[in-house]
């Protein structure tokens, strides 16, 4: 029937500050666009889809037909939002109707730099999972340095080229028609490549799951899809916290190219409140983030879905920088109260808090937990005027743990599975 | 509580921001156009001048002087100072300045500019403007403050007029009031021709552009005034009228009906002075008074006993305006008392005047050729059915129903098992009772506070919710809120839904009519037509009888705009959130005794959107569960009626006794179909009105034996296989709610295992939730059934926007599942007669789902073979062989078994009085209509339009056709076709074939087939996608082959709809029975309600000012059109069955009657199908659409219109099928 949205004026009132410790090269760009970060992040298609399922349809009729107190759960009642590309039921259809542009590494110079960063002086046979290698410039460079590479390519047009490359290197290259960023779609219908489950993929590759405490089973390299970086990030975080998908196989280390804009956001903290958001907290709690390299967008080639080299139209995107960051999941992420069993409450808490970022924490606590808010604040040793954007990621974790371990009350959270947040 | 406080804070902030803009603007105009100042101040009404004389003005001067000093200090030239000083003088009447048309003010500004030509002066001017702006802000603030104080003292009643001439007249009139009576003034005023721009205003509605955007605001305003009148807040309505009138921007929103409404209010009170004010304003707005305006004025004069001269002049003027005196009595809706006053006034002027009789409805005859027989007079063959109850019994039932509706709610005892009354339960109940008492008090208080603040807002000239809140008594609202709290599910409810429902409930309750006595008399007379022991002079239809008994109904009130409904509901929800509190000791036994809220406002995130949810505290849910109270509360309109419903006499009167019901339901908030219905000549709707009345007049009773059996299962463990949901105790329960199972916190359990535990928990919770909702649904149905056991009841009907009929009561009706249907039987019995038993047997076999392709005789024989099983099922349903449980529709089969058993055991089966409804189903009814439309021979045969020895099954035939194609492809070496060998069956294609008629696309069809293929275990699952893709193509091809006419008609309809939508209109048509249909699909428009707990944003697809949604219009047209045809067929059958004295009800294309009458019904059904399709339906449609969409000369040049014209003219050609053959087709409906 309808949905509503809370006022989110805060999102658009973002102050821009220079993040401390930010390298000068990163600040080369004008900062004006940052004022609209949230909207940019949504991506236009996400917005469109939401509006579609937003109509006040025959609500009253349904209302009448279904007795009060007996209405089906919200999740049934509202038609689910069409999940974004890659999580769709019929992947093939979604995939076809969308002309997606992807970035690829086309410059040998960049490839060399990356190999230097990733390999260092090592000569050993390391395993890399390269996502969407495209023309295979980096693949070649990696192979030349003596590494083993699994290339997951979601675009069929590149596959023959990559396979022929693989023939030359004596089995050190495995090419799979697969889309890494769309692994394990949410609603499982029929999966046709390039959409796969991680189980299918890893079984095929013969990679065994490693315990969380062990090191990374493999290193993944890729470029976040430019259209929906945030969606991809949310999905990765979701997988990470729930210990599913690729993270079921251990602490996979991600080496990703990400736009500078997003990069700053995930590294933000209360010292740059303009950029600070739920994603920042989640990223920083879960992983160690290292900025390895920065490269201008110009060094990348952009291809449309059918493998055509696309012209870069927007000046803005040309001037942008891409940051190469390393995300290593913390070894002790799940040793405390936060576990894959209750991470969703943590997610919910953060999303709720950052909905009105300028508000006081205490106001949010009332909508999160029936426990006396003053009491909680006392326990985490914050005063009652503390604002959401004043809380460091660790503070949020502490807050979560405090509530989750609260002894006196029978009911700790107002959140329940019924409200299960749909991410992306 | 603080969650709420936070919300309130936000609301307060919004409130403070509200009245910006206008005062500042006015002040600026006054300042710039200084020359006009004095004159204008004289036009201001005395009251305002008085007000400004008080302290506010002195202070203002002080402040401004301070500003001047500041300016001097900044070294600004003297000239500026002078100007400022002048401005101070002007500021005396800043408000009046605003009344000047802005154009003149601008002219003033332009005139001032050349005076200062030098650059220096220019700069000064700039500086000064800046200062001025600051000053204005200050001034505005002051002004507001002054005004606020004044408003608190009194509401405004004197208007500020835009026309100076009128204004001076008004002033003159006021001053001279003692000498020249007001009425003289009125007469003079009336003679004034409306000003020049009135023509423009009158023409405005035709211009749909920006006007339509104002429409929503107008609706709001009108409903506000209406509510004010209803709740006796007339001065407030007047106040708002005046404030709106005085601002040209807002004046555009005012329409004649608003002025009239306020005027009528004053007339009822006999307040001539205020009435005159409104009249002045009306004139001022350039509107021409109409009959209603005159009626109000005359009524007022009547009440005040004015002298004849004035009245005469008034009447004369009325005649000059071209309005008929008779019209006052015929065209204006008046109560008896108002009528008398009006007449008194008129008689003073014209003593001989006799009012025309209450308009006798002119003999209206329905012109549809299909209905000619129905409305033919004096047909001796007619034998309308009567009820089995006597007049006295029926009158008693009427009084029962009246009591129910006056109470507005029905309390029903739950059929849930009685809990053991342990100490715990009793304690919980006591706690709950205590809490409720506390909440009641708190709610009263909150409500009053809210009302106060809303009243304050209204006084400030805002459209607040105050009058809406006054519609129901505080007690009623508090009751409503407590009921809502009680029914709130544990997982919470979206705030938007809650608000919407609360708002609607208030609206529905306020609509209750109040002329109970009159109703009772009329109804009692009406019953003479239906009762078993009375006579009427002439047999006629219920509606005709009802109409003959009295005047038609007063016109109904307009529904409120959705935004008002939601806003009101939200306000009430907020009251509830603030008021409902409980001691914290309930939640945490050890905590100190502070109060905590019961309701929390939480968010759920759907992607980047947040949904606000109101959620009860888990402890409260727990308390409710423990207390296990055994009552359920329903709105009286959600429960079947206890007496025959009122016959439908117009699109908005019929069904329930007191609560008005709409004949046509549509998407919430949609208005366009109501407008169409109202514009439609009443006689054209007779077919629909009578059919609905007739469906509603069928008396029902509960099948007690089935109910007993179901209840037994229900209170025990349930039986999901038989459609009896299991109690929550059977659900897979997570050990400790959301809390983690033990292993979850242990560090040695690996993260992956914890993730697995989480998934398992989520799965269990999901199952439990689904079970719970099914359970509650069944609980409502069964409790109502239990409540109605041993009673006779009626299910009033209305229809959707295409004409398909539905019972009004949502929980318990004959449209539901197998279980729901089995619980019902006809209250009126009929002896089986010679063939009745046979039909019972055939019906029983039909219910099992076996022998679908056998002849009737074969089915009957099959029943005879199984007689032992049948008797066993009837006698020992739960302990015997349980044959019935294997049937497709087990509960109905069981009921039928029992009926058969009783009949065969009766001494004379033909005399056995049966109450059991026997069904006859159309075989793929949509395709039947398409085949008949296209006269498709092949198609007609496969959907049983041709008389054949055995029933045909279209699904099997499509499957066979697909198989033919498959074999061809397989021979060609198509891989999929080879894989599919042996897998193509009726079942695989059935759903797709069935839904193709209703517009399923290839995409949807593929998903359906995919599902079927997945169910086949030995089908190689790797091929599912490819195979389903292939199959759906073949199904469509087969249908194309078999129903060539059908597909071309579908395409024609789709294309027409697409083009119509492109011309900017919604698709509209008229069913063969004359019901106008319009598709309510428009592009979404957003509605936002700000402030309070959260802002609510929702979009509505029914905003007619938006362009039509082409995709929906186009995809919706073919199925909607076919539905309008099948509903026409059903209604025709219903009406003809009624003439033959049959009991008839329907579930769309499934017709029900007594076993004895099945043959008659079948005959009628076939005849009417032939009659219906003998009409040139498609040509009529084409003609209608051309007239409606292509005849406007303004648009005829548009490319879309000419293309539409071409399409419409090429009606698909019909095939060669001879329709008459249907009359002999046994299996047409079977």
Average pLDDT score over residue span B21-29: 33
Question: What pLDDT, on the 0 to 100 scale, is given for residue B190?
Answer: 61
- C-beta separation of B1211 from B1178 below 8 A: yes
Question: What pLDDT, on the 0 to 100 scale, is given for residue B205?
Answer: 40
Cα distance from B964 to chain A (closest Cα, Å)?
28
- For an interface test with A, the pick among B483, B600, B742, B751 (most A C-beta atoms closer than 10 Å) comes out as B751
Question: What pLDDT, on the 0 to 100 scale, is given for residue B110?
Answer: 42
Could you say which of B611, B1010, B1101 has the minimum Cβ distance to residue A56? Answer: B1101
| Dist CA B411 CA A48 (whole Å) | 45
| Dist CA B464 CA B396 (whole Å) | 44
Q: Which of B990, B1103, B1126, B1157 is catalytic?
A: B990
Q: Which of B127, B290, B800, B921 is catalytic?
A: B921
Token pair listed for B28: 């600026």
Which of B774, B765, B768 lies closest to B731 in space, CA to CA? B768
Q: Is A316 on the interface with B (CB under 8 A)?
A: no
Residue B921 known to be catalytic: yes
Q: Is A187 on the interface with B (CB under 8 A)?
A: no
| Dist CA B730 CA B718 (whole Å) | 9
- Residue of chain B minimizing CA distance to A424: B607
- C-beta separation of B678 from B788 below 8 A: no
pLDDT over 50 (residue B943) = yes
C-alpha radius of gyration, chain B, whole number:
36
Interhelix angle B704-715/B890-905, rounded to 10 degrees, is 140
Which of A:362-381 have CB within 8 Å of B?
362-363, 366-368, 370, 372-373
- C-beta separation of A180 from A195 below 8 A: no
| Dist CA B337 CA B356 (whole Å) | 16
Could you say which of A190, A352, A372 has the minimum Cβ distance to residue B1025? Answer: A190
**Stretch (H or E) spanning B109:** helix B102-112
Q: Which residue has the higher pLDDT, B740 or A282?
A: A282
Cβ-in-10-Å burial (0-12, 13-18, 19+) of A131 comes to buried
Average pLDDT score over residue span A10-25: 31
Question: What pLDDT, on the 0 to 100 scale, is given for residue B403?
Answer: 92
A105 annotated among ligand-binding-site residues: yes
Q: Which of B818, B872, B1149, B1157 is catalytic?
A: B1149
Average pLDDT score over residue span B452-475: 87
Question: What pLDDT, on the 0 to 100 scale, is given for residue B138?
Answer: 63
C-alpha triplet B884, B886, B889: angle, nearest 5°: 75
Q: Which residues contact B782 (CB under 8 A, 6 or more apart)?
A: B415, B707, B710, B711, B714
User: What are the backbone angles phi and psi of residue A229, rounded to the nearest 5°?
Assistant: -55, -45
Quickly tell me which residue has 């509202």 as its tokens.
Answer: A78
At A41, the pLDDT band (50, 70, 90 cuts) reads very low
- C-beta separation of A204 from A237 below 8 A: no
What are B474-506's pLDDT values in tens digits? 888 999 999 999 888 888 888 888 898 899 888
- Residue of chain A minimizing CA distance to B1003: A93
Q: Which residues contact B103 (CB under 8 A, 6 or more apart)?
A: none
pLDDT over 70 (residue A61) = no
* SS3 of residue B186 by DSSP: helix
At A77, the pLDDT band (50, 70, 90 cuts) reads very low
Chain A partners of B489 at a C-beta cutoff of 8 Å? 69-71
- Mean pLDDT check: name the lowest of B126-130, B893-897, B910-914, B1074-1078: B126-130
A57: phi > 0 → left, psi -120 to 50 → alpha, else beta; which? beta
- Mean pLDDT check: name the lowest of B251-260, B738-747, B827-836, B977-986: B738-747
pLDDT over 50 (residue A4) = no
- Mean pLDDT check: name the lowest of B106-120, B295-309, B773-787: B106-120
User: What are the backbone angles phi and psi of residue A295, rounded to the nearest 5°?
Assistant: -140, 145
Q: Is A128 on the interface with B (CB under 8 A)?
A: no
Query: How does the average pLDDT of chain A come out, rounded?
Result: 71
Question: What pLDDT, on the 0 to 100 scale, is given for residue A301?
Answer: 78
Could you say which of A42, A192, A413 has the minimum Cβ distance to residue B1025? Answer: A192
At B559, the pLDDT band (50, 70, 90 cuts) reads confident
- C-beta separation of B1045 from B936 below 8 A: yes
A362 annotated among ligand-binding-site residues: no
- Residue of chain B minimizing CA distance to A249: B752
Cα distance from A292 to chain B (closest Cα, Å)?
29
* SS3 of residue B1178 by DSSP: helix
A325 annotated among ligand-binding-site residues: no
Q: Find which of A115-124, B556-565, B1058-1067 is predicted with most confidence, using mean pLDDT.
A: B1058-1067
| Contact state of A411 with B619 under an 8 Å Cβ cutoff | yes
At B1161, the pLDDT band (50, 70, 90 cuts) reads very high
pLDDT over 70 (residue B56) = no
What are B753-776's pLDDT values in tens digits? 777 787 787 788 888 888 888 898
| Dist CA B742 CA B757 (whole Å) | 11
- Mean pLDDT check: name the lowest of A10-19, A346-355, B1157-1166: A10-19
pLDDT over 90 (residue B443) = yes
Which of B811, B723, B414 lies closest to A67 in space, CA to CA? B811
At B1070, the pLDDT band (50, 70, 90 cuts) reads very high
Token pair listed for B781: 């149905």
| Dist CA A115 CA A137 (whole Å) | 11
Cα distance from A293 to chain B (closest Cα, Å)?
31
What are B61-100's pLDDT values in tens digits? 555 555 555 555 554 444 444 444 444 444 443 443 333 4
pLDDT over 90 (residue B612) = no
Q: Is A200 on the interface with B (CB under 8 A)?
A: no
| Dist CA B70 CA B85 (whole Å) | 13
Could you say which of A190, A342, A424 has the minimum Cβ distance to residue B607? Answer: A424
At B16, the pLDDT band (50, 70, 90 cuts) reads very low
Count of CB pairs separated by less than 8 Å, A with B: 254
- C-beta separation of B1196 from B916 below 8 A: no
Cα distance from A170 to chain B (closest Cα, Å)?
32
Token pair listed for B766: 């999901």
| Dist CA B107 CA B101 (whole Å) | 10
| Dist CA B792 CA B397 (whole Å) | 9
Could you say which of B500, B667, B1097 has the minimum Cβ distance to residue A5? Answer: B1097
| Dist CA B368 CA B1135 (whole Å) | 14
Could you say which of B776, B777, B1101 has the minimum Cβ distance to residue A55? Answer: B1101
pLDDT over 50 (residue B608) = yes
Question: What pLDDT, on the 0 to 100 scale, is given for residue B322?
Answer: 79
Question: What pLDDT, on the 0 to 100 scale, is given for residue B1174?
Answer: 93
C-alpha triplet B607, B613, B619: angle, nearest 5°: 130
Token pair listed for B1215: 């095939």
Residue B1149 known to be catalytic: yes
Question: What pLDDT, on the 0 to 100 scale, is given for residue B1159?
Answer: 92
At B694, the pLDDT band (50, 70, 90 cuts) reads very high
At A314, the pLDDT band (50, 70, 90 cuts) reads low
Question: What pLDDT, on the 0 to 100 scale, is given for residue B231?
Answer: 84
Q: Which residues contact B607 (CB under 8 A, 6 or more apart)?
A: A46, A50, A81, A84, A422, A423, A424
| Contact state of B600 with A370 under an 8 Å Cβ cutoff | yes
Partners of residue A258 on adjacent β-strands: A323
Which of B465, B491, B450 lies closest to B611 in space, CA to CA? B491
Q: Is the pTM of this model over 0.95?
A: no
Question: What pLDDT, on the 0 to 100 scale, is given for residue B905?
Answer: 92
Cα distance from A216 to chain B (closest Cα, Å)?
15
Average pLDDT score over residue span B104-115: 42
| Contact state of A5 with B609 under an 8 Å Cβ cutoff | yes
Q: Is A87 on the interface with B (CB under 8 A)?
A: no
Q: Which residue has the higher pLDDT, B872 or B356?
A: B872
Average pLDDT score over residue span B150-169: 62
| Dist CA B210 CA A160 (whole Å) | 59
- Residue of chain B minimizing CA distance to A59: B668
| Dist CA B847 CA B496 (whole Å) | 42
pLDDT over 60 (residue B287) = yes
| Dist CA A163 CA A161 (whole Å) | 5
At B573, the pLDDT band (50, 70, 90 cuts) reads very high
Chain B partners of A77 at a C-beta cutoff of 8 Å? 494
- C-beta separation of B191 from B309 below 8 A: no
- Residue of chain A minimizing CA distance to B10: A7
Which of A:259-298 have CB within 8 Å of B?
none
Quickly tell me which residue has 């697995």 as its tokens.
Answer: B756
Query: How does the average pLDDT of chain B come out, rounded?
Result: 79
| Dist CA A386 CA A379 (whole Å) | 14
Handedness of CA A225, A231, A235, A237 (dihedral sign): positive
Could you say which of A370, A411, A421 has the minimum Cβ distance to residue B605? Answer: A421
Handedness of CA B935, B936, B939, B942 (dihedral sign): positive
| Dist CA B267 CA B339 (whole Å) | 12
- Mean pLDDT check: name the lowest of B101-110, B459-468, B783-792, B961-970: B101-110
For residue B633, give Cα distances in angstroms to A267, A312, B491, B509, B891: 55, 64, 20, 15, 27
The two beta strands, A253-259 and A219-223, are parallel
Cα distance from A111 to chain B (closest Cα, Å)?
35
Cα distance from B13 to chain A (closest Cα, Å)?
14
Q: What is the DSSP string of B760-786?
A: HHHHHHHHHHHHHHHHHHHHHHHHHHH
| Dist CA A256 CA B411 (whole Å) | 63
- C-beta separation of B204 from B303 below 8 A: no
Question: What pLDDT, on the 0 to 100 scale, is given for residue B421?
Answer: 84
| Dist CA B463 CA B454 (whole Å) | 9
| Contact state of B587 with A67 under an 8 Å Cβ cutoff | no
* SS3 of residue B506 by DSSP: helix
Question: What pLDDT, on the 0 to 100 scale, is given for residue B1045?
Answer: 83
Which of B1002, B489, B1182 lies closest to B768 in space, CA to CA? B489
Q: Is A73 on the interface with B (CB under 8 A)?
A: yes
**If you count them, how many residues does chain B have?**
1230
Q: Which residue has the higher pLDDT, B192 or B346?
A: B346
- For an interface test with B, the pick among A5, A202, A345, A413 (most B C-beta atoms closer than 10 Å) comes out as A5
pLDDT over 70 (residue A91) = no
What are B372-400's pLDDT values in tens digits? 888 877 667 778 888 899 999 999 999 99
Question: What pLDDT, on the 0 to 100 scale, is given for residue B711?
Answer: 93
| Contact state of A4 with B615 under an 8 Å Cβ cutoff | no
| Contact state of A416 with B738 under an 8 Å Cβ cutoff | yes
Cα distance from B523 to chain A (closest Cα, Å)?
28
Question: What pLDDT, on the 0 to 100 scale, is given for residue B86?
Answer: 45
**Stretch (H or E) spanning B595:** strand B595-597
Residue B990 known to be catalytic: yes
| Contact state of B1010 with A190 under an 8 Å Cβ cutoff | yes
What are A255-288's pLDDT values in tens digits? 999 988 889 998 998 898 888 988 999 999 999 9
Q: Which residue has the higher pLDDT, B1093 or B197?
A: B1093
Partners of residue B493 on adjacent β-strands: B614
For residue B635, give Cα distances in angstroms to B275, B410, B648: 40, 6, 21
HSE, side-chain direction, 13 A CA sphere, residue B1064:
11
pLDDT over 60 (residue A293) = yes
Chain A partners of B758 at a C-beta cutoff of 8 Å? 242, 340-342, 344
Question: What pLDDT, on the 0 to 100 scale, is given for residue B1128?
Answer: 94
Partners of residue B1069 on adjacent β-strands: B1077
Average pLDDT score over residue span B108-116: 42
């Amino acid at each position: 029937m309808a949905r509503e949205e809370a006022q989110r004026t805060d999102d658009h009132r973002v102050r821009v500050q220079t993040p401390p410790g930010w390298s000068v090269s990163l600040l080369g760009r004008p900062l004006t666009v940052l004022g609209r970060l949230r909207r940019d992040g949504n991506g236009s298609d996400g917005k469109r889809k939401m509006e579609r399922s937003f109509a006040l349809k025959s609500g009253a009729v349904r209302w009448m037909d279904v007795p009060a107190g007996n209405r089906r759960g919200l999740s049934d009642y509202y038609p689910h939002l069409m999940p974004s590309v890659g999580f769709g039921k019929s992947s093939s259809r979604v995939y076809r109707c969308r002309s997606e542009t992807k970035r690829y590494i086309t410059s040998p110079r960049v490839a060399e730099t990356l190999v230097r960063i990733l390999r260092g002086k090592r000569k050993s046979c390391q395993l890399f999972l390269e996502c969407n290698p495209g023309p295979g410039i980096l693949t070649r460079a990696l192979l030349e340095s003596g590494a083993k590479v699994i290339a997951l390519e979601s675009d069929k047009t590149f596959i023959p080229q990559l396979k022929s490359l693989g023939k030359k290197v004596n089995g050190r290259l495995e090419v799979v028609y697969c889309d890494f960023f769309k692994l394990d779609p949410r609603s499982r219908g029929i999966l046709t490549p390039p959409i796969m489950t991680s189980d299918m993929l890893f079984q095929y590759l013969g990679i065994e799951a490693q315990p969380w405490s062990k090191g990374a089973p493999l290193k993944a390299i890729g470029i976040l899809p430019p259209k929906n970086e945030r969606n991809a990030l949310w999905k990765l975080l979701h997988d990470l916290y729930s210990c599913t998908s690729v993270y079921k196989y251990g602490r996979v280390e991600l080496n990703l190219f990400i736009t500078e804009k997003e990069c700053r956001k995930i590294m933000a903290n209360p010292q740059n409140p303009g950029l600070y958001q739920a994603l920042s907290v989640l990223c920083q709690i879960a992983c160690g983030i290292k900025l390895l390299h920065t490269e201008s967008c110009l060094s990348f080639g952009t291809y449309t879905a059918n493998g055509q080299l696309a012209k870069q139209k927007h000046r803005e995107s040309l001037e942008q920088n891409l940051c190469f960051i390393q995300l290593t999941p913390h070894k002790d992420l799940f040793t405390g109260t936060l576990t894959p069993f209750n991470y969703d409450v943590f997610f919910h808490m953060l999303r709720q808090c950052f909905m009105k970022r300028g508000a006081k924490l205490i106001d949010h606590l009332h909508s999160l937990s029936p426990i006396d808010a003053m009491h909680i604040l006392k326990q985490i040793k914050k005063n009652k005027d503390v604002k959401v954007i004043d809380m460091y990621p660790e503070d949020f974790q502490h807050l979560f743990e405090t509530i989750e371990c609260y002894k006196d009350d029978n009911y700790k959270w107002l959140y329940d599975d019924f409200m299960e947040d749909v991410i992306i | 509580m603080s969650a709420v406080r936070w919300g309130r804070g936000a609301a307060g902030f919004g409130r403070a921001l509200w009245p910006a803009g206008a005062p500042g603007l006015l002040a600026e105009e006054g300042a710039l156009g200084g020359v006009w100042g004095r004159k204008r101040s004289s036009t201001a009404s005395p009251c305002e001048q008085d007000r400004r004389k008080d302290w506010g003005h002195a202070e203002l001067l002080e402040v401004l002087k301070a500003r001047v000093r500041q300016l001097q200090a900044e070294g600004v030239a003297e000239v500026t100072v002078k100007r400022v000083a002048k401005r101070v003088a002007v500021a005396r009447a800043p408000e009046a300045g605003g009344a000047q048309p802005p154009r003149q003010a601008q002219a003033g500004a332009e005139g001032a500019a050349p005076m200062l030509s030098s650059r220096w002066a220019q700069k000064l001017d700039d500086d000064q403007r800046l200062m001025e702006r600051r000053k204005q802000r200050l001034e505005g603030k002051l002004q507001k403050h002054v005004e606020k104080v004044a408003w608190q003292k009194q509401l405004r009643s004197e208007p500020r007029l835009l026309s100076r001439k009128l204004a001076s007249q008004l002033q003159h009139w006021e001053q001279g009031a003692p000498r020249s009576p007001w009425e003289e003034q009125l007469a003079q005023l009336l003679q004034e021709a409306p000003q020049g721009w009135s023509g423009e205003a009158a023409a405005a509605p035709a211009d749909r552009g920006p006007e339509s955007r104002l429409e929503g605001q107008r609706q709001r305003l009108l409903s506000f005034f209406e509510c004010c009148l209803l709740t006796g807040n007339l001065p407030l309505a007047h106040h708002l009228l005046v404030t709106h009138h005085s601002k040209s921007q807002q004046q555009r929103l005012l329409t004649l009906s608003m002025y009239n409404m306020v005027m009528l209010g004053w007339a009822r009170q006999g307040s001539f002075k205020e009435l005159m004010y409104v009249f002045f304003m009306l004139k001022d707005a350039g509107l021409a008074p109409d009959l209603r305006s005159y009626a109000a004025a005359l009524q007022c004069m009547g009440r005040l006993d004015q002298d004849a001269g004035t009245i005469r002049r008034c009447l004369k003027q009325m005649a000059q305006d071209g309005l008929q005196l008779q019209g006052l009595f015929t065209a204006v809706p008046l109560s008896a008392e108002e009528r008398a006053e009006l007449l008194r006034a008129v008689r003073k002027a014209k003593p001989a005047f006799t009012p025309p009789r209450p308009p006798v409805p002119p003999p209206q005859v329905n012109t549809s050729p299909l209905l000619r027989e129905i409305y033919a007079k004096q047909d001796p063959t007619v034998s309308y059915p009567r009820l089995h109850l006597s007049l006295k019994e029926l009158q008693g039932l009427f009084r029962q129903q009246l009591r129910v509706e006056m109470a507005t709610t029905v309390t029903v005892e739950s059929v849930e098992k009685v809990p053991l009354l342990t100490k715990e339960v009793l304690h919980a109940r006591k706690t709950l009772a205590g809490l409720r008492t506390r909440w009641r008090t708190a709610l009263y208080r909150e409500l009053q506070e809210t009302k106060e603040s809303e009243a304050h807002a209204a006084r400030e000239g805002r459209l607040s919710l105050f009058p809406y809140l006054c519609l129901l008594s505080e007690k009623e609202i508090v009751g409503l809120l407590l009921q809502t709290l009680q029914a709130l599910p544990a997982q919470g409810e979206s705030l938007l839904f809650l608000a919407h429902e609360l708002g609607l409930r208030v609206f529905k309750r306020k609509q209750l009519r109040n002329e109970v006595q009159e109703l009772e008399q009329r109804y009692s007379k009406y019953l003479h037509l239906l009762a078993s022991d009375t006579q009427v002079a002439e047999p006629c239809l219920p509606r005709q009888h009802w109409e003959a008994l009295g005047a038609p109904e007063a016109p109904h009130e307009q529904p409120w705009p959705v935004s008002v409904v939601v806003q009101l509901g939200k306000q009430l929800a907020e009251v509830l959130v603030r008021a409902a509190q409980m001691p914290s000791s309930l939640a945490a036994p050890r905590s100190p005794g502070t109060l905590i809220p019961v309701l929390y406002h939480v968010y759920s995130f759907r992607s980047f959107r947040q949904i606000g949810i109101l959620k009860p505290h888990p402890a409260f849910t727990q308390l409710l569960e423990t207390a296990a109270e055994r009552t359920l509360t329903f709105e009286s309109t959600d429960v079947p009626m206890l007496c025959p419903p009122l016959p439908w006499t117009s699109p908005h009167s019929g069904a329930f006794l007191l609560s008005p019901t709409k004949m046509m339901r549509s998407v919430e908030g949609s208005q366009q179909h109501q407008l169409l219905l109202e514009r439609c000549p009443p006689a054209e709707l007779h077919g629909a009105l009578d059919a609905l009345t007739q469906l509603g007049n069928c008396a029902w009773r509960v099948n007690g034996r089935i109910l007993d059996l179901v209840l037994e299962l229900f209170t025990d463990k349930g039986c999901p296989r038989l459609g009896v949901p299991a109690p929550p105790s059977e659900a897979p329960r997570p050990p400790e709610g959301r809390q983690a199972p033990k292993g979850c916190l242990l560090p040695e359990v690996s993260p992956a295992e914890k993730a697995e535990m989480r998934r398992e928990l989520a799965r269990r919770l999901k199952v439990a939730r689904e079970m719970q909702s099914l359970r509650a649904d069944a609980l409502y149905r069964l409790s109502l059934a239990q409540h109605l056991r041993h009673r006779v009841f009626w299910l009033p009907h209305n229809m959707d926007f295409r004409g398909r009929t539905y019972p009004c009561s949502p929980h318990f009706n004959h449209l539901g599942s197998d279980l729901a249907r089995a619980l019902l039987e006809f209250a009126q019995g009929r002896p089986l007669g010679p063939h009745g038993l046979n039909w019972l047997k055939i019906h029983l076999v039909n219910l099992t789902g076996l022998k679908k392709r056998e002849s009737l005789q074969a089915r009957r024989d099959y029943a005879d073979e199984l007689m032992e099983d049948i008797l066993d099922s009837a006698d020992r349903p739960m302990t015997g062989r349980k044959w019935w449980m294997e049937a497709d529709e087990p509960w109905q089969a069981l009921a039928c078994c029992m009926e058969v058993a009783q009949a065969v055991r009766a001494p004379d089966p033909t005399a056995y009085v049966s109450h059991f409804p026997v069904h006859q189903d159309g075989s793929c009814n949509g395709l039947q209509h398409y085949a008949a439309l296209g006269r498709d021979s092949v198609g007609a045969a496969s959907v049983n339009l041709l008389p054949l020895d055995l029933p045909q099954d279209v699904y099997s035939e499509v499957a066979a056709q697909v198989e033919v194609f498959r074999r061809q492809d397989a021979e060609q070496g198509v891989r999929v076709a080879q894989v599919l060998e042996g897998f193509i069956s009726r079942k695989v294609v059935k759903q797709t074939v069935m839904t193709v008629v209703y517009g399923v696309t290839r995409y949807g069809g593929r998903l359906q087939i995919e599902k079927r293929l997945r169910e086949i275990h030995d089908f190689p699952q790797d091929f599912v996608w490819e195979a389903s893709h292939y199959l759906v193509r073949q199904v469509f091809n087969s249908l194309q082959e078999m129903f060539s006419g059908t597909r071309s008609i579908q395409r024609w309809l789709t294309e027409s709809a697409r083009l119509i939508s492109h011309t900017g209109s919604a698709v509209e048509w008229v069913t063969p029975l004359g019901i106008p249909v319009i598709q309510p699909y428009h592009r979404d428009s957003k509605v936002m309600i700000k402030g309070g707990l959260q802002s609510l944003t929702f979009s509505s697809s029914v905003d007619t000012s938006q362009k039509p949604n082409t995709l929906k219009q186009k995809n919706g047209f073919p199925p909607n059109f076919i539905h309008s045809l099948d509903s026409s067929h059903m209604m025709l059958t219903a009406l003809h069955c009624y003439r033959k004295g049959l009991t008839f009800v329907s579930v769309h294309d499934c017709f029900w009657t007594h076993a004895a009458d099945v043959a008659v019904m079948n005959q009628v059904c076939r005849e009417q199908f032939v009659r219906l399709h003998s009409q040139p339906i498609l040509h009529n449609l084409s003609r209608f659409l051309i007239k409606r969409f292509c005849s406007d000369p303004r648009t005829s040049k548009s490319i879309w219109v000419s293309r539409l014209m071409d399409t419409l003219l090429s009606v698909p050609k019909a095939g060669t099928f001879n329709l008459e053959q249907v009359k002999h087709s046994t299996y047409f409906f079977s």
